[in-house]
Structure 1
Amino acid sequence: MDLGFTEMQELLKNSAREFLEAECPEQLVRDMEEDDSGYSPALWSQMAEQGWQGLLIPEEHGGAGFDFLDFCVLVEEFGRALVPGPFMSSVLGGAVPILEGGSDDQKAQYLPGIASGDLIFTLAQTEPSARFDEEGIQASATVDGNNVTISGTKLFVPDANVADYMVVAARSGAGVTLAIVPTDQDGVTVNQLLTIARDKQCEVVLDGATGELLGADGGGWDILGPVMQKYAVAECAYMVGLAQMDFEISVDYAKERVQFGRPIGSFQAIQHKCADMVTDVDGSRFIMYKAAWSLNTDQDDAQMAVNMAKAWTSEATRRVVAHGQQIHGGIGFTKDYKIQLYYRRQKRAELAWGDSDHHRELVADQLGI
């Protein structure tokens, strides 16, 4: 296992950082918190020109044909810049399920649009029970050939307010079934939720919504397995990026903030916090990339690696952003300072696809304890 970046990955990281520093400044992040859509169409188009929406999509469908490790390199930079918008929703919630279970016709129909940024997808899996297991899917599905009719409520659906299509998980007589559902129909009602990160999570009420079968009737859970694995690791990559930036901001502040006649960074208590922060950031980066490598190379223990990464990274990055707040003192809790942006988004990512307790339980189950 070699977790060092290849020349291509270094190029991807450096070019992404340069681009996002120029095109996704702090003010844009703040503006998108107040914007109903939650993303900038101009930035979205520029990202598509970079080929990012198509990073995981094969070249024959208009993508770049990169692998999941490359994708995590990019998502780490997204976390650093707090990029707003439906990027992970569209790629991981749309392209990956279609790649995993879609027919050749579905791949040809939808993947080029995702890669170009013309189509926005999201995944509607969780329900009011907030469970991530198979039993948590209780929305009803009626399958008639290639057509699916769905009724039920989906909760915490990211970016459903701007999505053109949703990959919806529901339960038919054969089991969990997936369908590609257009959002522009009478049977779909989308209500935005108010969240700590001001991201665009939604309640989606489906009342006889119609869609196209994705995969086999009853075969949806087999498709969702790889999707959930990649989504969890991508959230880890996002948290690593934001924790790294939170650490850098806090160190810079400790060098500049003068108290008792000297920078607060000269006090041992602050130095200890900074040392703990960098340890947690580096540990999170290692375990995240190990999980990404395990998925990329189809290791037998990939599921364990994913659960360990999400459990550790969720807690470690929480400690990082908490230290960042404490180093800033009371001023860090005001919206005038950008450190709070990282604190709030860490909390969102920590809970996404299961918190540390959820993933520790999955590790315990695999160990038989």
Structure 2
Amino acid sequence: MNFDLTDDQEMMRDMFARFLDEHSSMARVREAAPSGFDPALWSGLAELGALSIRVPEDAGGLGLGLFDAAILMEEAGRTLASGPLAETLVTARLLAQLGGDAGATLLAQVVSGEVVASLAFHDAAVEPAQWIGGGQVAQAIIARMGDEIVLISVPDTARIAEENLASTPMAEIDLLAHPRVTLASGADALATFAAGVEEWKLLIAAGLAGVGREALKLAAAYACERKQFDQYIGQFQAISHPLADLLCDMDGGKFLVWKAIRDLADGVSEAGATISMAAWWNSDAAGRAVAQALHTFGGYGLTTEYDIFLFNLRAKAWPLVLGDPQAMIAEAGRRLYGGEAAALPDAGAMPVDFDLGEDARAITQEIEAFFAANVTPEMRETFHYSWEGYNPELNRKLAEQNLLYLGLPKDVGGRGLSAYEKTAAMDAFEVQGYNNPAAGVTQMVALIIHRFGTDELKEAILPQIMRGEVICSLGYSEPGSGSDVFAAQCRATQESDGSWRIDGTKMFTSGANLSTYVLMLCRTNMEVAKHKGLTMFIVPLKADGVTIQPVYTFQDERTNITFYDGVRIPDSWRLGEIDGGVRTMSASLELEHGGGFAKYQRAMLHAAETLCRERSHKGKPLIEDAGAQARLARTAANLWVSELIAFRANWASMEKKPNLAYGPMAKMFSSEKFQSDARDLLDLTAPLSLSKRKGAAAEINMFYRHAQGATIYGGTSEVHRSMIAERALGLPRTRA
């Protein structure tokens, strides 16, 4: 897996970034209005080779890949470059591919910046008058006309400036009213032109990723300097949390562009759908990002004194030249579920790679073989996504094959899988329908015991854990503290003989009815800051004074409230220093590599696809309905972005990269999309989805109920949004 650019691409990006920072400053962008075209900027880009990036070397260009062009477009978006860059990149390539000798002279003029050329998106024989990106300054336009690809010469008198939303150089051109020559005709020529339009979608999507992310950066900076009610406004969660949400959306949109290019390079069948998704996603996400960014500035954002309004207008103007972006998600639906084919551009070299690797495939195969050999149909009937799916016999068998504690380091006795292997393994378990939250919690407890436990404690508990004979629960949350574990009030008082007495209540002690031990965070000092007065213990759940009371959820899941009344444990069962519980707890973080809910999202999508094939709609399977296809495609987009954001977190962990809240982003984004898509797919497949009928209907029903806890367990979305705002956007702390 790789999220890094090559050294050459880093140099290229830095070169374009420096140039655009100087020559496409906001002052220059303002000066370019109302035409929206900066001739000096254009000439400078040409001198740097920007306009020839996608022109093959044998035609005099740089011959670089689509990813290189996307890097340029992201920088152009970040700086609101004044000119039809995406249109020109595509047109220059089309001239090289279709222009022949007749187009060679014009191609040289285009890549040198002497002439601006653009393209028309729709068949001129059907729609003669079209809005053209850069039409005010384009002397030549490539268009489809029936079964021909034509080059249209547009005189100065036909390029009429017209006020428009963002002062871009667009214009409406009557394509049949001007001289034209045929460049090529036939199926191959039409496919080449259509592939050029697909390339434009990706380039605009990349540009929008730059626009949206820079707008969020400006908003975050403003929120760190503007005070209201004697506080920086960035401290208000109403300001910081929407920005955190949108940062996930914008990063996800960039990664969708990358996935589309990766899919093209690999010849993946869904590549065409991914292009449509990326164009739709970034049009929508950038529009929301710039609106929220402007809102952060309050009334000042409405004035022309601040630059944020420029981003707001540009984010909407760039993609709308093609038409309604919602058509793109409908197109993605047809391509995924309706068999619609698309002519696709050549990707060229693509260094970014989302492959989990051979070791990940090996562990997947090992798990498949284990289940085939060891799991009976009767066992499968007991599988459940919660702790209630715990099977002691299967737990021991998994331990025997070293398949139980996959993320636990080898020095503790676990498998020590990499983040990539662990991701693949969790997906493989999901394919089998088996979830084992008990193993995840128990391996965390084992790690803490190994790192901080006394020899007596290690000898008493670790062998049982590693043989798969016992499981452990977590005693963090309390009735009055929830995600704020540092507010724990459950008391541990040291007696004169050195032993400890524990009194208090823990809430949501999932698995306590099945576990042998609980890892407990207790208050041991009331005289210091709350996070400094905590100590960690291991408590036997069968000890005198422990009461376990069930708490049932509508998710078909049991959790527990546990009561501790004078429970006695020896000091040897303390973990770490007295009042050092926070440090002890942090040891478990090394097991976290930025997971999420993608595996559930994938299973839910497959169940919905099955139901849409089974359910009739107007005499046909529902999956043939255009609206259903679009909604399934939207769920697929959310799934892919969830995966990509989680992959980024895994990669950053593996490669020791700076981790700007990548794990919280993965958890928060995927849990929110899991929940919203669960609602939508339940609606889409109703009324069949209301049934718990065995099969896809029961699965959709179950996923809806399961998703309700996704934004709560493991830290609420609000907690993770604060982490993202602080660590990724540099906003001030939103918690006291």
TM-score for both structures, normalised by structure 2: 0.44
Aligned to 2:318: 349
SS at match of 2:28: helix
Whether the 8 Å contact between 2:140 and 2:154 is mirrored in structure 1 is yes
- Which structure has the highest strand share of the two? 1
SS at match of 1:192: coil
Letter in 1 for 2:30: R
Letter in 1 for 2:50: W
Q: Compute the displacement of 1:158 (Å).
A: 1.6
Out of 135, 140, 156, the residue aligned to residue 131 of structure 2 is: 156
Out of 108, 112, 117, the residue aligned to residue 113 of structure 2 is: 117
Aligned to 1:130: none
Letter in 2 for 1:303: G
Aligned to 1:364: 333
Query: Is 2:243 the partner of 1:246?
Result: no
CA offsets, 1:145-191, max 9 Å, x none? xxxxxxx73221122222221113223xxxx3221122238xx8333
Distance change >3 Å, CA 208–CA 271, structure 1 → 2 = closer
Task: Quote the Cα distance in structure 1 between the aligned partners of 2:249 and 2:312.
Answer: 15
Aligned to 1:24: 24
Letter in 2 for 1:95: A
Out of 39, 45, 49, the residue aligned to residue 47 of structure 2 is: 49
Letter in 2 for 1:214: L
CA offsets, 1:64-112, max 9 Å, x none? 12111000001000000000013222221x2122234333x24533332
Q: Compute the displacement of 1:297 (Å).
A: 4.6
Letter in 2 for 1:178: I
Written as runs of structure 1 = structure 2, the 5 A alignment for 1:1-369 is 2-34=2-34, 36=35, 38-92=36-90, 94-103=91-100, 105-106=101-102, 108-126=104-122, 137=123, 139=125, 153-171=128-146, 176-184=147-155, 189-206=158-175, 208-216=177-185, 221-366=190-335, 367-368=337-338, 369=623
Q: Whose relative contact order is higher, 1 or 2, with alpha carbons under 8 Å and at least 6 apart?
A: 1
Q: Compute the displacement of 1:342 (Å).
A: 0.5
Letter in 1 for 2:152: V
Task: Quote the Cα distance in structure 2 between the aligned partners of 1:61 and 1:224.
Answer: 17
Q: What fraction of aligned residue pairs are identical, expressed as a percent? A: 28
SS at match of 1:39: coil
Moved more, 216-225 or 323-332: 216-225
Consecutive unaligned residues of structure 1, counting only runs of 5 or more, are: 127-136, 141-151
Whether the 8 Å contact between 1:61 and 1:112 is mirrored in structure 2 is no
Q: Compute the displacement of 1:218 (Å).
A: 6.9
SS at match of 1:215: strand
SS at match of 1:64: coil
Aligned to 2:341: none
Moved more, 77-86 or 3-12: 3-12
| Count of residue correspondences | 338
Task: Quote the Cα distance in structure 2 between the aligned partners of 1:120 and 1:296.
Answer: 29
Task: Quote the Cα distance in structure 2 between the aligned partners of 1:161 and 1:312.
Answer: 28
CA offsets, 1:234-289, max 9 Å, x none? 11001000111101100000001010111101112112122112111111111111
When the two chains are superposed, the root-mean-square deviation of aligned CA atoms in Å is 2.2
Distance change >3 Å, CA 16–CA 337, structure 1 → 2 = same
Q: Compute the displacement of 1:345 (Å).
A: 0.7
Whether the 8 Å contact between 2:260 and 2:271 is mirrored in structure 1 is yes
SS at match of 2:181: strand
Instruction: Indicate the structure (1 or 2) with the bigger Cα radius of gyration.
Output: 2
TM-score for both structures, normalised by structure 1: 0.85
Task: Quote the Cα distance in structure 2 between the aligned partners of 1:68 and 1:233.
Answer: 9
Task: Quote the Cα distance in structure 2 between the aligned partners of 1:208 and 1:266.
Answer: 58
Whether the 8 Å contact between 1:48 and 1:117 is mirrored in structure 2 is yes
Letter in 2 for 1:68: L
Distance change >3 Å, CA 206–CA 74, structure 1 → 2 = closer
SS at match of 1:300: coil
Letter in 2 for 1:15: M
Task: Quote the Cα distance in structure 1 between the aligned partners of 2:246 and 2:83.
Answer: 28
Distance change >3 Å, CA 164–CA 297, structure 1 → 2 = farther
Letter in 2 for 1:114: V
Task: Quote the Cα distance in structure 1 between the aligned partners of 2:96 and 2:264.
Answer: 15
Aligned to 2:673: none
Q: Compute the displacement of 1:348 (Å).
A: 1.3
Aligned to 2:594: none
Task: Quote the Cα distance in structure 2 between the aligned partners of 1:248 and 1:58.
Answer: 36
